[in-house]
Amino acid sequence: MYETIIYEVKDSIAIVTINREKALNAINNQVLADLDKVLDEIKADKNIRGLILTGAGRSFVAGADIAAMSVMNEEEGFNFGVYGNGVFRKIELLDIPVIAAVNGFALGGGCELAMTSDYIVASEKAKFGQPEAGLGITPGFGGTQRLPRKIGVSKAKELIFSARVISAQEAYELGIVDKLVAPEELMDKVMELMNSFTKNAPIAVANCKKAIDEGYQLDIDGGVKTESKWFAKCFGTEDQKEGMAAFLEKRPAEFKNK
């Protein structure tokens, strides 16, 4: 089992809750190890159609563990950063939709964790920020890379240089957060949204994700080529035959993830 996360599956949707409440769910090596392991479990389970990331208690993730980092030397810092970046990239490369349900503080590594997801839903009470420069370090789990890609270079620099903690509303206006909801509605709204993704053909949704993520790194010619590749692959699936037959026969489709 897991020491620092809670892993549940509800209606084919995996829910991973970071659970180190006494440290506001700060990420240490154990959290990374648990995340790494649960990602393998999720990848191996073909019944799972989506992943929700959230935090226990009043925090999503209040960053990497400052006590653990305070005694690291350069080599240890390098290893921690590479390990975290590897685990976070593994989340990003999952071929199921991932939603971050940000219930509270999403600071440093927490903001970086949220940004590995396909979509961020935040409670109106959540707080975001990259406070690392105020601690004498740079963001180290992808913040210097994903934040500018999300909100633009100069806005990302302002947030990272100033180490400013911002409200969920400001994060929404900047484009870090995709949807804001009342705190008590967070999980219901996230489940509703996830169900609207997972009711569709899973391989088609996975191929859409790959086409968007791969294409986003390319120029438009490379991008449309990537789209054609993932579009074509759908025609080799049973679900494409089923989806189109269901339309023509005027009945709901029954997708089998095949």
Q: List, by residue number, the catalytic residues.
A: 112, 132
Contacts of 89 (CB under 8 A, 6+ apart): 116, 142
Position 2: which residue type? Y
Q: Which is nearer to ligand CO8, 130 or 198 (CB)?
A: 130
Which x/- pattern over 40-79 shows residues binding ligand CO8 (rule: CB under 6 A)? ----------------------xxxxxx-x-------x--
Give the separation between CA 26 and CA 23, rounded to whole angstroms: 6
Please say whether the beta carbons of 99 and 50 come within 8 A. Answer: yes
Q: Footprint of ligand CO8 on residues 119-148 (CB under 6 A)?
A: 131-132, 135, 139-141
Q: Footprint of ligand CO8 on residues 8-37 (CB under 6 A)?
A: 23-24, 26
Residue 88 beta carbon to ligand CO8: minimum distance, rounded to whole angstroms: 10
Q: Which is nearer to ligand CO8, 55 or 109 (CB)?
A: 109
Q: Footprint of ligand CO8 on residues 189-208 (CB under 6 A)?
A: none
Q: Which is nearer to ligand CO8, 136 or 252 (CB)?
A: 136
Residue 68 beta carbon to ligand CO8: minimum distance, rounded to whole angstroms: 7
Rg for the chain, CA atoms, rounded? 19
Widest pairwise Cα distance in the chain: 65
CA separation (Å) from 121 to 34, 92, 114, 192, 227?
Answer: 23, 16, 9, 12, 27
Give the separation between CA 254 and CA 88, rounded to whole angstroms: 33
Contacts with ligand CO8, residue ranges (CB under 6 A): 23-24, 26, 62-67, 69, 77, 80-81, 84, 105, 107-109, 131-132, 135, 139-141
